[in-house]
Structure 1
Amino acid sequence: METFLFFIILVFLIAARMIHIRYVKSDNGSASGRSFAGTLMDKGTSGEFMIYSHLEKLGEPNRLLPHLHLPKSDGTMIEIDLVMIARTGIYVFESKNFSGCIFGDEDSRYWTQTMKRGPKHQFYNPIWQNESRISTLKRQLALEADAFKSYVVFSDRCTLKKMYVQSGPVKVMNLHLIVREIIKDMAELPDIFTPLEINQIYSELVPYTHTAAAIGQARIETVRLE
């Protein structure tokens, strides 16, 4: 028993060390304002960091913005996991750091997560969730809808089952596919922003990346199962 426990602790420490090395090499910490410990211990934040670290490989002129908190028209705030501004558009990422099997489609209000052992769990359609965020971004930047691409990214610990998504600007995938899919998109889509415009959009959004400064006393929108 002690040997098994030691092995589990050792595996955890090695994994944490590997993530720390990636974190140190990444700009995510300074961009998001979150510490390594905070990133590691928070399931949602660690999933967002993994997406960020993959997207960094794409290099310039792409610009990344994690943890955006934008004001909605009703006075509340909406949180966006990650945005990438590229020549071919603005990519908006919804991170789902889940395990198990995922069932869903773009028209269902709720998707389902199942585990080998344990009850099923329903969660709000992440495509719809990202649509709401893109709508807020569109209003903030005064851009047309075709400038935005929606990416829902699940961890590599889960399997996507019976996933029906047909909308062109919407993609649902596991983390390991993200760079390949974006490179494919960039090769097929026309450029709509110059490097100067990319930097201008980045400058407009960057004040909304740090939670404390962006939120103030406003309430962040949360999606609840109803």
Structure 2
Amino acid sequence: MTDAGDVFTTLIKPNLPLFGAVAGLYAVLFLYRRFKPALRGTLREMLVVQGTFRLLKPEGYGCFTDVRVPRPDGGGTLRVDHVVVSPHGIFVIETKPCTGAVQGAEDEAQWVQTFATGSRVAFPNLIWQSRRHIAALAQFLKLPEAKFRPVIFLMGGGTLKPGLPEPVINDGLTAYITGFEEVVLEPAEVERVKAALGGK
């Protein structure tokens, strides 16, 4: 009769690295399937937005991601997806993965994304979210809100239904930002804002 210790020594112990590798692979596959939509959305955002940032001239634009600023009411912080600082304004960019058709209006609390399958998903009005972020940034940076420019960037090849307000785009982020020519911030203000947001 084979001793249990012998079985462990002769069969299991030499193959422990293999068992560990298989278990690790199953764990990775499980996590990938569980979080696949979020991972794809995050990766897409990184590629698109960081690509845009690389196209902006570094001497004219300061680019910041995942900016956290105090709430105007003092109740914690707000997370802003991206901020681009330039003499032509402070662009407050909200990004959202979008593969369906998006419809909504500036005064509607909920917008709707409709997919090819016919399913629909409602999500909060991104213009209202952008306004909250601009108010927080304006207070934090001690600047009037007129110097901020909202941008709602829907990524992923979705379509925009008529009625969505102007700062909602699904393509051409670089062209949209560089299309503003009016100077609203002096060089000293630009540098101060960059420093406050963590720039050099």
What TM-score range do you get, normalising by the shorter chain?
0.7 to 0.9
Question: Is 1:152 equivalent to 2:172 in the alignment?
Answer: no
Alpha-carbon distance between aligned partners in 2 of 1:137 and 1:127, rounded to the nearest angstrom: 15
What fraction of aligned residue pairs are identical, expressed as a percent?
24
For the pair shown, the structure with the greater C-alpha radius of gyration is 2
Q: Residue type matched to 2:63 in 1?
A: L
Gap runs ≥5 in structure 1: 1-39, 208-226
Residue aligned with 1:193, SS? coil
TM-score (norm 2): 0.73
Q: Residue type matched to 1:53 in 2?
A: G
Residue aligned with 2:95, SS? strand
Asked if 1 retains the 8 angstrom alpha-carbon contact of 2:64 and 2:82, the reply is: yes
Change (3 A) 1:192 1:206: same
1:92-134 deviation line (CA, Å, top 9, x unaligned): 0000111111011111110000111152100000010110000
TM-score (norm 1): 0.65
Aligned-residue RMSD, C-alpha: 2.0
Residue aligned with 1:91, SS? strand
Q: Residue type matched to 1:47 in 2?
A: E
Which residue does 1:137 correspond to in 2?
Answer: 137
- Which has the higher mean CA deviation after the structures are superposed, 198-207 or 138-147? 198-207
1:172-209 deviation line (CA, Å, top 9, x unaligned): 101x32122222222xx2x12233331221111118xx
Which residue does 1:69 correspond to in 2?
Answer: 68
Asked if 2 retains the 8 angstrom alpha-carbon contact of 1:85 and 1:91, the reply is: yes
Which residue does 1:95 correspond to in 2?
Answer: 95
1:60-105 deviation line (CA, Å, top 9, x unaligned): 2210110011121232211100000000110000001111110111
For these two proteins, the number of residue pairs brought into alignment is 160
Matches within 5 A, 1:1-226: 41=39, 43-44=41-42, 46-59=44-57, 60-72=59-71, 73-165=73-165, 171-174=167-170, 176-186=171-181, 189=182, 191-206=183-198
Gap runs ≥5 in structure 2: 1-37
Asked if 1 retains the 8 angstrom alpha-carbon contact of 2:91 and 2:177, the reply is: no
